[in-house]
Chain A
Amino acid sequence: MALVDRIGKSLTGAPLVLTNVDALIDWSRGQSLWAMPMGTACCAMELIAASFSKFDFDRLGSFPRPDPRHTDVMIVAGTITRRMAPAVKRLWEQMPEPKYCIAMGNCAVSGGIFYYDTYSVVRGVDEFLPVDVYLGGCPPRPEALQDAVLQLRELVRSRSIAEGREYDRDYTLPLPGGDRAGTTDPGRAEAAGVLAGGTPESGDET
């Protein structure tokens, strides 16, 4: 991709060559969207079914890879809890640009049935990931996932990567209250305090 950037800078004033290379690259990238299967709940069953012979996503060029460094699109299939969110984000940050995200199922779109009265579930992965395609359903059928991949393919083809990806906000920030970095494990300290004979801190149930 850096090559395209360099060509674009050196050939300013001769857009014809750049446009053609760019269009070719964009077209070919859409043909091979390798997927990072981020399956955490029942949607993962449909995601697995989509990969096997009956639905066979390989014929669309979408192939599940267990390594985020090999993949172009993260398919978040399932409920993401506040405990899980930092791990999902870490995997997302390991994926090379340009990268895309499909939020599969109601939980990944908005929290789904866990939207109300729940303390532990993130209400949609777009709280911390830039989602490109929202796919509703509880869970969606593999055919629906197929349609989402085809829509993402159109999106990839129509968007040039020469200028780089633009996000609507800064998704590189740490998760609010979800990242363990810099914390001193107050849970362990509280347990030690109770066992030492003291009472739990009064500000505990806030």
Chain B
Amino acid sequence: MNIDELREHLCGTYPDLCPLFSIEFGDGVLIVDRGRYWSAAKDLKDLGFDRLGMITAVDGVDDFEIVARVTAREMGAHIFLKTHVPRDEPAIETLTDLWPAADWQEREVYDLFGISFRGHPDMRRILLPDDWVGHPLRKDYRDERIIRRPDYI
């Protein structure tokens, strides 16, 4: 499968998302809703996307956005798979059953954003101490130990 066939296949599979999907220069963005996150990742895996580069999250204040970047090494194609999770129920399916590399990445997202991954084999903090309170990369994180930089520096 080459990149043109990949574009046709994805636009056929996700017709409502086709305007959001552009695969110029082998790079694409695929924004799916929360329920189709895992199945979309499974589709990509079956299409030859064999490498998971990273998983991270963005705090959009209203909700969180999960960003996973997958690569098909033979095609030379990269896709950002994105989805949104609500703030009052920050949970999403894990991708560890598709790409084992997701393990520590998802633990880091959990550690810093507080988003839990269903089915993850070892869902706990990875960077911060286990007794840490809160998730520091959230916009509403407060910590009295942080010293704000004065304006004159």
The residue from B114, B124, B125 contacting A200, defined by CB atoms under 8 A apart: B114
Q: How many residues of A contact B (CB 8 A)?
A: 27
Chain A residue contacts of B18, Cβ below 8 A: none
Size bracket of the B interface? 20 to 34
Per-residue B-contact encoding for A61-90, CB less than 8 Å = 1, 0 else? 000000000000000000000110010000
Contact B131 A177 (CB under 8 A): yes
B24 interface contact, C-beta 8 A: no
Of residues 154 to 194 in A, which have CB atoms within 8 Å of B's CB atoms?
A: 177-178, 180, 183, 185-188, 190-192, 194
Chain B residue contacts of A86, Cβ below 8 A: 129
The residue from A118, A119, A120, A186 contacting B130, defined by CB atoms under 8 A apart: A186
Per-residue B-contact encoding for A188-206, CB less than 8 Å = 1, 0 else? 1011101100011000111
User: How many A-B Cβ pairs are below 8 Å?
Assistant: 79
The residue from B118, B134, B141, B146 contacting A118, defined by CB atoms under 8 A apart: B146
Chain B residue contacts of A205, Cβ below 8 A: 134-135, 138, 140-142
Interface SS majority for chain B: loop
Q: Which residue of B lies closest to A193 (CB)?
A: B116
Chain A residue contacts of B148, Cβ below 8 A: 116-117
Of residues 133 to 153 in B, which have CB atoms within 8 Å of A's CB atoms?
A: 133-136, 138, 140-143, 145-149, 153
Contact A180 B129 (CB under 8 A): yes
21 residue pairs of the A-B complex, CB under 8 angstroms, read A82-B128, A83-B127, A115-B147, A116-B153, A117-B146, A117-B149, A118-B146, A119-B143, A120-B128, A180-B130, A185-B130, A187-B111, A187-B125, A188-B130, A191-B116, A195-B116, A195-B123, A200-B90, A204-B134, A205-B134, A205-B138
On A, residues with C-beta under 8 Å from B are: 82-83, 86, 115-120, 177-178, 180, 183, 185-188, 190-192, 194-195, 199-200, 204-206
